[in-house]
Amino acid sequence: MGNDGGSIPTRRELVREAARAPTTAQIKETQREQQEHSWTTCPLSHKALARPIVSDSVGNLYNKDAVLQFLLPGDDGEGISSKSDCEEVLCGRVKGLRDVVELHFEVDTELSEHPSDHANAHRHQRREGWICPITAKPLGPGVKAVYLVPCGHVFAEEAIRQLKGDKCLQCNESYSEDNIIPILTTKEADKERLIARAAKLAEQGLTHSLKKAPGSKKRKKQTMESSADATNGTTVATASATAAKSTASSNGIKNSATASLTARVLNEENEKKKRRKMMGLNDNLDSLFTKDKKQGSKGDFMTRGFSIPASARR
């Protein structure tokens, strides 16, 4: 390469500007765009969010019909992404309708997008305005919103925090502090709390909607049967120990193992005595025999024998 009038560019010439870290304003703008997309688009069907809308245990929003299509058995449902893509989005949080809560938004027609602003309406993919029924603030990326479980009514978070009640302001249904679910939260503390809540409910056999999880009754029945078996086993073991203790006490022996061994030895001795009686080895027959073979002429009748005189031998 040379003598042709060309040149080899250097790195400095190719890279005019070094990569710069995004500014705080750029990060906020990116997060706002992501929030706007999540508030207007269903991640399963990639269509505009339209009532009925449901939420999972971490506050994500979905079209209810898209969730139903995902839960239907068989191949990929119509109008949604592939099953694998949906599972990647849901991360195992939705296995049935009990794992989601249907949300009830307060709609204000005055805040709905004006027909003259058609281009903006097409961009945001939403026509109706959702507001907090207490503060009348529009709900969206600019306002932190929450909903209550199990009723599903949606409010601005500041309204719930300031009132500090335990009953829904719309339907008067009771709720607890743990069942205030932030919608599309970006705070790590809120995400960790929601994950811990879901794990606690699973241990109790409940779903996100506070309904019983499928199969929880069966698991409860199996647990009860296991407990009954354990109780029966304990009862049998206790009865056996009590019987051994009673036997030991009756023989005057405190140690149950020693008492068992003693009883076995006594049984063997009894068996030997029975065999002796059957063979006729009584005391009268025993007296005819001697145990000492060196007694010679002083022996008994059976062992003394007959000796030949010395004169007869000649």
Identity at 227, one-letter amino acid code: S
> Which domains does the chain carry?
26-215 (3.30.40.10), 247-282 (no CATH)
pLDDT of residue 118: 44
Rounded to whole angstroms, the Cα distance separating 286 from 112 reads 123
Q: Which residue has the tokens 């969730």?
A: 67
* Structural contact between residues 165 and 159, judged by C-beta atoms closer than 8 angstroms: no
More confident residue, 237 or 99: 99
3-state secondary structure of 220: helix
**What tokens does 211 get?**
């309904």
Summarised one tens digit per residue, pLDDT across range 179-236 is 999 999 989 999 999 999 999 999 999 999 999 998 766 555 555 555 555 555 555 4
For 97-108, the pLDDT digits (tens) are 999 999 999 998
Residue 148 phi, psi (nearest 5): -105, 145
Give 249-299 pLDDT, tens digit per residue. 444 445 566 677 777 778 888 887 777 666 655 555 455 555 554 544 455
Name the pLDDT band for 115 (thresholds 50, 70, 90).
very low
pLDDT of residue 31: 84
Which SS3 state, helix, strand or coil, does residue 174 take? strand
Task: Let me know: does 70 contact 44? Beta carbons within 8 Å.
Answer: yes
Q: Can you give the length of the chain in residues?
A: 314
Element (H, E) at 18: none
Amino acid residing at 163: L
Q: Cβ distance 131 to 137 under 8 Å?
A: yes
Would you call 136 helix, strand, or coil by DSSP? coil
